[in-house]
Homo-oligomer: A and B are copies of this chain.
Amino acid sequence: MNKLVRGADDAVADIANGAVLMIGGFGLSGNPENLLQALHKKGVTNLTVISNNAGIESEGIGVLLAAGQIRKMISTYVGENKIFEQRTREGTLETELVPQGTFAERIRAGGAGIPAFFTPAGVGTPIAQGKETRDFDGRPYLLEHWLRADFALIKAYRADRWGNLTYRKTARNFNPIMATAARVTIAEAEEVVEPGGLDPECIVTPGIYVQRLIQGAAYRKPIERRTIRKREPGQ
């Protein structure tokens, strides 16, 4: 068993026009940079992208958006992207906005074989329109359905050859749950080791969820909002 493929181009070779993709990351943090670049280069179009955000103009998913490769976004917040705004006004981009907790839980449900569940988020809001509402213990909840994808593109920190993955700090975000919810999960990692090279207690994504793996390279890791504090004398 060796899930390591040659490179990003090979890894995305069978992603066809019209595919439904989950793409990990929160803003630009934890994006699968190498896979996104390969997807852009491949020129595949008409994609449905399930991702928390839409990147910015020149980074992350924003690059696919700018190239007109995306037909529909399922996201929770898309505020940082002018091209997003432009495509929406043109009518060339469809968007489904989902509360972030519901979005995360729908993805987890997709991976966990739970076709639907009840959540309190969104009751009494425009999100509730057309959805079943039911009371439990006197409180109203909405019925929400799972999300699944053809491919998930995942950014890990370290991986072993069997596809076991760890993440780094808040770059973890949606990556582990998206890994569970696609027919084919493709992961890129900053470092790839042999099985046994990761602490079994600290593996976040078991290899069972990963079908293909690449060794990532040349990570840019852009920062959206660089906030700092001044060093006091003596610190």
Residues of A within 8 A of B (CB): 105, 109, 112-120, 134, 136-137, 139, 141, 145, 166-169, 199-202, 204
Contact = CB atoms under 8 A, between A and B. Distances in A.
A113 B117 contact: no
A223 to B, nearest CB: 20
A95 to B, nearest CB: 24
8 contacts: A114-B117, A115-B137, A116-B136, A136-B145, A167-B201, A169-B201, A201-B204, A202-B202
A116 B115 contact: no
Contacts of A109: 117
Contacts of A201: 166-169, 202, 204
Nearest first, the 6 closest Cβ-Cβ pairs linking A and B are A115-B136, A117-B117, A202-B202, A116-B118, A114-B117, A115-B118
A112 B202 CA distance: 22
Contacts of A137: 115
Contacts of A139: 115
A167 B200 CA distance: 11
Contact of A113 (B112, B115, B119): B119
Contacts of A141: 115-116
Of A109, A169, A201, most B-chain CB atoms within 10 Å: A201
Nearest to A119: B114
A162 B119 CA distance: 29
A141 B145 CA distance: 13
A114 B119 CA distance: 6
